[in-house]
Structure 1
């Protein structure tokens, strides 16, 4: 059994959290081929991504409160088991309707990893140190989305798109015994919460009325929506419109993830020196700048892979800094209901992103314009979220010691 504060526990939690990015990113290079194989259009295949995010969001509302009552570990075991079965359903789906159903169930299971991984870090490391640990966890798990599209492209070329989902099932099958046998339960018995609907709703109502929680959550959701707009539209923009190969697409995606990886390292390195809020502010400005450059180039008719990938690298550096810091900021004042806070955080993040992704699919005009404009809007709204919500909340907390983080 691992020690709670050991590096191995952090790596294990990162590996469990990586289920979400793997299930999102690995099949991106295969989306055009899946549309052809299942005799459907790009909008329907893009819907598998948005439906996954919607299911992911819904599941988080359940996992957090359940884990606050029964512990993180048993709830995570159930979720990973469901992910395994759903991945096999996706692999053998004969029609787009079956694939959509499988992706929804895959999301219901896969949500357990990220939401309970975040909550477990808050349980183990407390409000301040959690930001640094989440940053290094993000650095560790950045390897997953960096390699996922390349692995997906290789599997597509050698074995067909179905093999991508078989590999996801194998990953879950490996994680299950590790989770059951090696990971200790991070939530002590004296911090368990009631699962009575009134208690759950009271926690959610309290969080929705907490300015700090909502500020960090909506700032995160805006930046994540820009990221998700790229995930939803990039394969069709780069592969179909700009003519890059699926393998080249995987390489471009890896370069973008290097930007995210760099951001997470900067977030962990400067977490204590600059503080959470200065890091979040600078990260939102990077997102707005990267998205703005991409949109201006697209609107000017500059249609080249570098005009898409280059600005998005800067956007992703900002996302890498912002994500762990906003997660930590949202969970910090809520140790008594960290699972519920992580659930609501993830629900709002994923729901907003799913709507944005579906919109990108529906409004896709065959060029990079729609995707680029939505990425830029995500960056600008992240800046607005910080300036209008996070900064006022932190100023109010600074003048009221009773509202300081605990």
Structure 2
């Protein structure tokens, strides 16, 4: 007696749900570099349109100047908030929500009915924009393959430096060919689009640190009291400070001795911006030397540019002045990623906090550079900058050995 075996038709198995693959790091980096040019540019955008703002709201020049100062102060202060926050909640939410907030506030600022509301908008705009730099720098240091990290950081910091030129060029174009408020609308739309793309492209990452606000403050205090990070922070004071002060006295010198107008001065900045290419190129070739070596080389290169600019005061040497400005910028483009890379090594467990303090110090230095340039002439300012740059390079060389913070 045989037993019949009943077979049932097999049911097609459900395909295993596939996790959506996020684009590679190169695409993420390209977006972050583009935003590094676009978001900090708001700090410099108001410079060429200050006269239009003054006329539109019926205020004097001193009051109109506060549109830049208010943004700058809130921008620097925001770094101390968003760097630690990105350690706590992750990089993606800080970057994406920060970009969206910047978009909304930028649009509202452009529609401000009076100067008081406009100034308030600039403060809020600066604070929201500060979410980008510390979180982006921390994301790149964490996600970039070790061999590509120096070049990646150099590209990102090139954008942060280049924003100073991009913002002024765009603002100048708007001031000459459109209503001054039109300078804000394209930026607001771009930031909103970037927020959506950031949320889609960036990985969620870890859930962040469970540290309390008090613990974050203690971590920042500990970094400041530790020799290596403290040396980086002290040296960082000179970087954007020298950048701002040098261009301030250079432009004044060219205006007074050579009769340069606003368009010609922007061209000078554009020529100097060619030096920004040095950072990515040198890091690609010599990145294996380590961030400390590249930072010191950057300080020496920047100091050389400043020294060469000293005897080139006469109007007959205008071409030399413009050329050495590119050398100075080339050195600066090496310093910034070098300092960021050093903090990556010296403070591996508090990268967001370390990046926030470092970026805060960079822009405090920029404010100090503006004040110093207003008080000193061309030669005295350059002498001060040479000495400060050499002292900063020596500090990095001596005090930043690659021993992580405890």
TM-score tier (shorter): 0.7 to 0.9
Matches within 5 A, 1:319-398: 319-361=332-374, 363=375, 370=377, 373-374=380-381, 377-387=384-394, 389-394=395-400, 397=402
* Cα shift at 1:159: 0.5
Check 1:87–1:371 CA distance in 2 against 1; reply closer, same or farther (3 A cut). Answer: farther
Q: Measure, in 1, the Cα distance between the counterparts of 2:124 and 2:343.
A: 27
Alpha-carbon distance between aligned partners in 1 of 2:386 and 2:34, rounded to the nearest angstrom: 28
Q: Which structure 2 residues correspond to residues 116-155 of structure 1 after superposition, within 5 A?
A: 116-125=135-144, 129-139=148-158, 147-155=166-174
Corresponding position: 1:318 with 2:334: no
With over 3 angstroms needed to count, the CA separation of the structure-2 counterparts of 1:118 and 1:327, relative to structure 1, is same
Give per-residue Cα distances to partners, 1:356-379, cap 9 Å, x unaligned.
324545x3xxxxx64664465344
Gaps of 5+ in 2: 1-19
- The match for 1:213 is 229
The residue that corresponds to 1:366 in the other structure is none
Q: Which structure's CA Rg is the greater one?
A: 2
The 2-side partners of 1:294 and 1:386 are apart by 19
Preserved CA contact (<8 Å) 2:37 2:162: no
Give the TM-score, by structure 2 length. 0.82
Distance change in 2, residues 1:4/1:62 (3 Å): farther
- RMSD after superposition: 3.3
Matches for 1:49-64 after TM superposition, within 5 Å? 49-64=68-83
TM-score when normalising by structure 1: 0.82
Q: Is the 8 A contact 1:219 1:383 kept in 2?
A: no
Q: Does the residue aligned with 2:209 lie in a helix, a strand or coil?
A: coil
Q: Between the two structures, name the one with larger relative contact order (CA 8 Å, sep ≥ 6).
A: 1
SS in 2 for 1:327: helix
Q: CA–CA distance in 2 between the matches of 1:96 and 1:356? A: 27
Cα offset, 1:317, TM superposition: 0.8
Q: Residue in 2 aligned with 1:17?
A: 36
Report the CA distance shift for 1:236/1:39 in structure 2 as closer, same or farther (over 3 A): farther
Asked whether the equivalents of residues 259 and 316 of structure 1 are also in contact (C-alpha less than 8 Å), the reply is yes
Distance 1:37 1:261, change over 3 A: farther
CA deviation vs aligned residue, 1:190-223 (integer Å, no higher than 9, x gap): xx22342321122112211222212223223202
For 1:303 and 1:21, the matched residues in 2 are separated by 35
Distance 1:303 1:37 in 2: 40
Compared with structure 1, are the counterparts of its residues 353 and 7 closer, same or farther at alpha carbon in structure 2 (3 Å cutoff)?
A: same
- Structure 1 residues 97, 265: closer, same or farther in 2, change over 3 A? farther
Pair 263,121 (structure 1): closer, same or farther in 2 beyond 3 Å: closer
Say which SS state the counterpart of residue 184 (structure 2) adopts: helix
Unaligned segments of structure 1, at least 5 residues:
364-368, 398-402
Instruction: Describe the shift of the 1:317–1:160 C-alpha distance in structure 2 as closer, same or farther (beyond 3 A).
Output: same
Match of 2:25 in 1: 6
1:344 shift after superposition: 1.1
Q: Residues 264 and 46 from structure 1, CA distance in 2 versus in 1: closer, same or farther, beyond 3 angstroms?
A: farther
Aligned residues: 387
CA distance in 1, matches of 2:62, 2:317: 23
Shift of 1:7: 0.7
Q: Label 1:335 to 1:126 Cα distance change in 2 as closer, same or farther (>3 A).
A: farther
SS in 2 for 1:188: coil
* Aligned pair partner of 2:290 in 275, 285, 290: 275
